[in-house]
Chain A
C-alpha cells in the first residue's frame, strides 16, 4: 500500500457507534470525523462502509491512506475472567492486569474454584481467562487445582497463565492434556509487594489481536483497515500514557488523570506514581501500577442511571438535583430504555448533568487512594492506601456526557479533593481539559506508528476548560 500520502484513518468499532477520524500527518490536524450505528451483529463492514462513505463525502476525493488502524469495543468488548489465590493479593493483581489491558472484567475468582464457580465461569463465557495464583516459589496447590478444573471444563477461551512460575511446567502439561489454548507468561505478583502486570498486559493484547478479533466476527473489517490493534479502552490508556510521558523528542504534560464517562461505565485512568505527598505517611496495600485503569460497571449515565442514583442515595441525589417537579423514577427508566437519547428539555439536561456529576465523583473516589487514621501508643498514625492524586496538575475529560454537556467543567469539578472529605486523595487544583473531538482513541492508535505527531495533535486539540 502507498505510504506517500499524508492522511491516516482511525476507526473505533464501538458497541453502539462505528467512529472514524482522519488525521493529516503533515499538517498535524484533524481533517474529518464521522460516526454511524455499528453493525457488528450483522456484518461489521456495513457500518464501516457507511462511515467511510461519510468521511469520503466530506473530503471529495478518496485519499490513499498512509495508515488505516482500528480499535474495538464491539461485541461486548474484551470480556475477561481473572483468577487468583488471595483476593487482596494475586486475585487483585490479575484483575488490575486485565483492566490495564483494556478488558471488561466480568468475573473475579479466588482460592480453589468450586464446581459452582466453574459453572458460573462457563456461563460467563469470557473471551480470555487470566489464571494467576502464588508468588514465584510460593503456593502451587491452588493454581494447579484451578488449571486442572479449567482443563476439564466446557470453555474454549484462551487461558493466559501468569502465576507461580514453579508451577508453570505442570500447568502447561495439564492445559495441553485438556486441549486448551494457553500462553504462559510472567507472574503478576512474583514476590510479596511486587506487582508486575506489564508482561501479562502485552500478552493479553497479543491474544486479542490473534484470536479474539476473529472470534468476534471483526476479522472481515481487516480487509478494509490494516489492523485492529487493541481494545478501545486500551487505546485511550495508551493515549493517556503518551500525553503524560511524552516521547524522547516531544515533551509530555506530566502526571495526569483521564475521566471517561459513558452510558454503561465510567473509567478513570491515572498515569501517576501516587506516592505520599505529606511526611509521616505509611503506605500499605498492594503496590499501585503507574498506569492504572479502573472501571465502574455501575456508573453509566444510561444503562446504569438507576444504579448511580442507588449509589448516591435517592434523597441525596434529589437534593443535589434540586428539581422537585421531576418524576425521577420515570425519567430514569426512560434513560435506561432509550440509551441513545439526548436530553431535550431543561429538566432532562439537568438530570443528565447530575448523573454525570455523580458518576465522576464516585468513580474518582473509588480510583483515588485514601488515608486511614489509626491510634497507637505514640499518638495518631496515618496510613495511605492507593494513590495520592492530590498533586495532579491535569485532568482530562472524555466521553459523550462530558463532550455534549454545555458545562463540562461543572462535571469535572466533582472529581476534586474536598475539605469535607480530606481523607480521599483526589486532585486538588488541576487544570481541566476536554477531549471535545473524541480524539483520544485515535491518538492511542496513532502513537503506535508516529508517536511524536500523535502527541502534538493531542496537545493541539485538547481544549483547556
Chain B
C-alpha cells in the first residue's frame, strides 16, 4: 500500500495536546505520513492542509466537549474545497453530560464522519481501522 498522508489536530478552542502527540507518534510508527497541526485548529486549517498535502484522511480530536458544535458542516466544507471524498475520523470527549454513545456516534456519522470514537479508545484500534478503511478505498 502506498504511504498514506493524514492530517491530525485538535479542533476548536481546545488545548488538550497529550492524546494528539501520542497519536502522532503511533501513526508515524505505523508508516503514515502525518501533518500534525497541533491544538486550536479550525475546520479551515484542517481542510487547507488536506488540499496542500493531498491527504487521504483527516483525524479530528475534540476534547473540550464542544465537538458537536465545532464539527458541524465539516463534510460540507470538505466538499466545497474539492476534497469531498476524504476519510473523516473524529474522537475524544465529543459531548458533555450523560448521553448514550450510540446516539452520539449516530449524530457524528450523520455529519459525514466515517469513524467516530468514544473517550479512552486506544491508538492501536484507531490505526487498525484506518489502515483497513484506506485500504478498502484503494480498491474502490
Residues of A within 8 A of B (CB): 85-86, 88-90, 134-135, 137-141, 189, 191-193, 282, 284, 374-378, 381, 383
Contact of B35 with A191 in the complex, beta carbons under 8 Å? yes
Given A139-B54, A284-B40, 20 other A-B residues pairs in contact with their CB atoms under 8 A: A86-B48, A88-B48, A90-B52, A134-B53, A135-B35, A137-B3, A138-B52, A139-B52, A192-B7, A193-B35, A282-B15, A282-B40, A374-B13, A374-B40, A376-B13, A376-B15, A376-B66, A378-B64, A381-B40, A383-B40
CA–CA, A375 and B14, complex, Å: 10
The answer to whether A138 and B48 touch (CB under 8 A), given A284-B40, A381-B40, A383-B40, is no
Given contacts A374-B40, A377-B66, contact A192 B49 (CB under 8 A): yes
CA separation between A50 and B29, bound complex, in Å? 68
Q: Identify which of residues 27-74 in chain B touch chain A, using a CB-to-CB cut-off of 8 Å.
A: 33, 35, 37, 39-40, 45, 48-49, 51-55, 64-66
Indicate if the CB atoms of B13 and A135 lie closer than 8 Å: no
Select one of B3, B15, B45, B52 contacting A135, CB under 8 A. Answer: B52
Q: Which residue from chain A places its CB closest to the CB of B54 in the assembled complex?
A: A139
Contact B53 A377 (CB under 8 A): no
A221 to B3: give the CA distance in the assembly, Å: 54
A376→B51 contact, CB < 8 A? no
Contact among B45, B53, B64 for A138, CB-based, below 8 A: B53
Task: List B contacts of A90 (CB < 8 A).
Answer: 52
Task: For A191, give the chain B residue with the smallest CB separation.
Answer: B35
| Contact status B54-A377, CB under 8 Å | no
Q: Is B91 an interface residue (CB 8 A)?
A: no
Q: How far is the CA of A378 from the CA of B39 in the complex (A)?
A: 14
State in angstroms the CA–CA spacing of A377 and B66 once bound together: 8
Check if B40 sits within 8 Å of A192, measured CB to CB: no
Please indicate the chain A residues that have their CB under 8 angstroms from the CB of B45 in the complex.
284
When the two chains form their complex, are residues B52 and A85 in contact, meaning their CB atoms are under 8 A apart?
A: yes
Q: Are A376 and B48 in contact (CB under 8 A)?
A: no
Query: Known: A282-B40, A381-B40. Contact between A192 and B14, CB under 8 A?
Result: no
Q: Is the CB of A85 within 8 A of B40?
A: no
Q: Is the pair B51, A85 in contact by a Cβ cutoff of 8 Å? A: yes
Find chain B residues with CB under 8 A from A135 CB: 35, 52-53
Interface size class of B (residues with CB under 8 A): 20 to 34
Q: Tell me the B residues contacting A by CB distance below 8 Å.
A: 3, 5, 7, 12-15, 33, 35, 37, 39-40, 45, 48-49, 51-55, 64-66
> Closest CB of chain A to B102's CB: distance in Å?
25
B-chain residues with CB within 8 Å of residue A89 when the two chains form the complex: 48-49, 52
Given contacts A192-B49, A376-B14, A377-B66, whether A134 and B40 have CB atoms under 8 Å apart is: no
Give the docked Cα–Cα distance between A135 and B54 (Å): 8
Query: When chains A and B are docked, how far (Å) is the Cα of A378 from the Cα of B13?
Result: 9
Q: Which residue of A lies closest to B81 (CB)?
A: A86
Distance of A297 Cα from B52 Cα, bound (Å): 28
Q: Knowing A88-B48, A89-B49 touch, does A192 contact B54 (C-beta < 8 A)?
A: no
Contact, CB under 8 Å: B52 / A192: yes
Cβ–Cβ < 8 Å partners of A193 in chain B: 35, 37
User: Do A86 and B51 touch across chains, with their CB atoms under 8 A apart?
Assistant: yes
| A194, B104: Cα distance in complex, Å | 36
Decide: B64 and A377 in contact? CB cutoff 8 A: yes
Smallest CB separation, B5 vs chain A (Å): 7
Residues of B within 8 A of A189 (CB): 52
Give the complex CA separation of A306 and B94 in angstroms: 53
Report the separation of the CA atoms of residues A282 and B65 in the bound assembly, to the nearest whole angstrom. Answer: 20
Q: In the complex the two chains form, is B37's CB within 8 Å of A192's CB? A: yes
Which residues of chain A come closer than 8 Å to B64, judged between CB atoms? 376-378
A138 touches B40 (CB 8 A): no
Min C-beta distance of A384 to chain B, whole Å: 11
Q: How far does the Cβ of A94 sit from chain B's closest Cβ, in whole Å?
A: 12
Report the minimal beta-carbon distance from A15 to chain B, rounded to whole angstroms: 37
Interchain Cβ contacts under 8 Å between A and B, 9 examples:
A85-B51, A86-B48, A89-B49, A138-B5, A191-B35, A192-B7, A193-B35, A284-B40, A383-B40
Nearest-neighbour CB distance to chain A for B38, whole angstroms, equals 8
* Distance of A138 Cα from B12 Cα, bound (Å): 25
CB of B140, distance to nearest CB on chain A (Å): 19
Instruction: Write out the residue numbers on chain B whose beta carbons fall within 8 Å of the beta carbon of A86.
Output: 48, 51-52
Cβ-closest chain A residue relative to B55: A138
Highest count of chain B CB atoms <10 Å: which of A88, A134, A377, A383: A377
Question: CB distance A192 to B35 under 8 Å?
Answer: yes
Q: How far is the CB of A386 from chain B (nearest CB, A)?
A: 15
Using CB atoms, name the residue of chain B closest to A194: B35
- Closest A-chain residue to B13, C-beta based? A376
Contact flag A139-B15 (CB < 8 Å), given A191-B35, A192-B37, A377-B64: no
